[in-house]
Structure 1
Amino acid sequence: MSRLRRTPPQDLTPQARALYEKITSGPRGQFMVDSEGGLTGPFNAMLLSPPVGDPLQELGAAIRYRSSLTDRARELAILAVANHHDSAFERAAHEPIARDLGFTDDQLQALRTGAPLRLSDATETAILNVTRGLLTKGDLDDEEYATLDKEQLFELTTLVGYYTTLALQLRVFRV
């Protein structure tokens, strides 16, 4: 059971309401709104502290919609983070996106379990290997570091940190 009540927009403080409007009018739109108008997933917790929640959701929007990582590479990394932190919400939110991007059921199963995964794209393979290295070691060896360009590596480490933060918040607030 969730530790947070999903607050309908009319019951929010003015600051929280402004953040709510920003989240629901953005590219994530109504996907994160329940039948009574409350925010679902990690976004509900962001309303607790709009001065922190707003930059956090902006970071997520930048990662999702303005990064140089391909959609497939991004979803690979997100699902690897979801597996590592056993984040059911992130898995449920991102597996359909990955499926729409052409990931097979077998590939999604490998991402769910952390099993080896053969990918035909060398960059996707590097993204997955680097993500798993970051998650298991908190660092990269020189060989892993050299598999991506610095822009990709910066964006990927930011993605791993962001989705790790969300996984922690989702777990603590029992979302």
Structure 2
Amino acid sequence: MRLAPLTALSEQQNAFHERLVARRGGIRGPFEILLRSPQLGAPLEELAARCSGDSALSPRLRELALLITARALDTQHSWNAHIGKAVAAGLDPVALARLSRGEDPAFTREDESSLHAFVIRLLSDHFVDEKTYTAAVDQFGEAALIDLVVSVGTFASLAMLLNAFEVDLPPGQDPPFPDVTGSAKRTP
């Protein structure tokens, strides 16, 4: 990681640290970074917790949105942290392997295909065409679609923290994306 370990915590950092340990069982990934800025880190962590657990989207679709965002932003740390949860939530590991390689995942469930198309359009084009939008709102409804957009934005914020500050993969974890090595992309 580009940031040196914290050697002392302010009162606000300590309170945030205690909340993170109580809620998440420790300080990992983007939360190591956010601990340095508790005035923004605490509300972002709260939003991330709500996106991950208190959403109109099912756990399976929340995990899929996170993995699509992680792959789109080349965030290997997020992918490794969530791939097991995604499979446990019912996502097809073969489709996820294709997604990790940057291939069309060819999801067989209509809701997964619709979510994938929507999130990819949002992240790559920054807008969603009418056909993709209509399919998604018909599939999920307005509340879940709003939750999806907020979740993708939150996951993207966390991914950018991980990438900008080059948070290392935990020891023993292999990089999941063959075309990404740290801050430099390999050309095939």
- Normalising by the smaller structure, the TM-score range is 0.7 to 0.9
Q: Which moved further from structure 2: 118-127 or 93-102?
A: 118-127
* Letter matched to residue 145 of structure 2: L
Q: What stretches of structure 1 move > 4 A for 4+ residues in a row?
A: none
User: How do 1:1-150 residues align onto structure 2 when only pairs under 5 Å count?
Assistant: 2-7=1-6, 11-26=8-23, 29-30=24-25, 33=26, 39-147=27-135, 148=137, 149-150=141-142
Fraction of identical pairs, as percent:
30
Q: Identify which of 143, 146, 169 aligns with 1:151.
A: 143
Q: Distance in 2 between matches of 1:151 and 1:92?
A: 29
More helix by share: 1
Question: Normalising to structure 2: TM-score of the pair?
Answer: 0.81
Q: Distance in 1 between matches of 2:19 and 2:79?
A: 24
Aligned length: 163
CA contact (8 A) 1:107 1:117 kept: yes
Q: Distance in 1 between matches of 2:84 and 2:67?
A: 11
* Letter matched to residue 142 of structure 2: K
- Residues 110-161 of structure 1: per-residue CA shift (max 9 Å, x gap): 2213322233432222111101111111110111111222212211111111
CA contact (8 A) 1:6 1:40 kept: no
Q: Distance in 1 between matches of 2:116 and 2:58?
A: 13
CA contact (8 A) 1:83 1:112 kept: yes
Unaligned runs of 5+ in 2: 168-188
